[in-house]
Amino acid sequence: MNNAQEPCVFLVENDLAITSAIVSLCEKDQLTLCCFSSWEDMENSLTICSPSYLIASNSLCQRPISERVSHITREGIPVIILGSQHDLSGAVASIQAGAIDYIEKPAVKGRLAEYMSHLSA
């Protein structure tokens, strides 16, 4: 699934606090993190490297989240969506499209830590 030698995580997020928390998790588990400011930039990088996970903010998605998630999961990449606690329709659409989880902002660190620890094991 991953073209790189070491586990790599792609992150599409513009919230600096969330990004900082995910950077800390990756550093702790010695994972390579590639950050992107848009889904388009991230998708362009998929031709170079296939990540172990994609963690992405649904607020940065210009197209319907279900389209983006289903496209990425068809590539065999597990997707975790970060979104608002009050976005039930976005959460449902993400999961139905194949995301492995929908994590409410800003409390992302606990559940994401579980995914990261599996990569470094």
More confident residue, 89 or 99: 99
95 lies in some domain: yes
Which range marks the domain in which residue 85 is found? 8-120
88 lies in some domain: yes
Task: Check residue 60 and give its pLDDT.
Answer: 67
> CATH no. for residue 39?
3.40.50.2300
Share in percent of the chain as helix, strand, coil (round to 5): 45, 20, 35
110 lies in some domain: yes
Task: Check residue 84 and give its pLDDT.
Answer: 82
How many independent structural domains does the chain possess? Answer: 1
State pTM to two decimals: 0.84
Confidence at 3, pLDDT banded by 50, 70, 90: very low
**Model pLDDT for residues 44-98, shown as the tens digit of each residue:** 998 888 899 999 988 766 677 888 899 899 989 999 999 887 888 888 999 999 9
Tokens 């995301």 appear where? 99
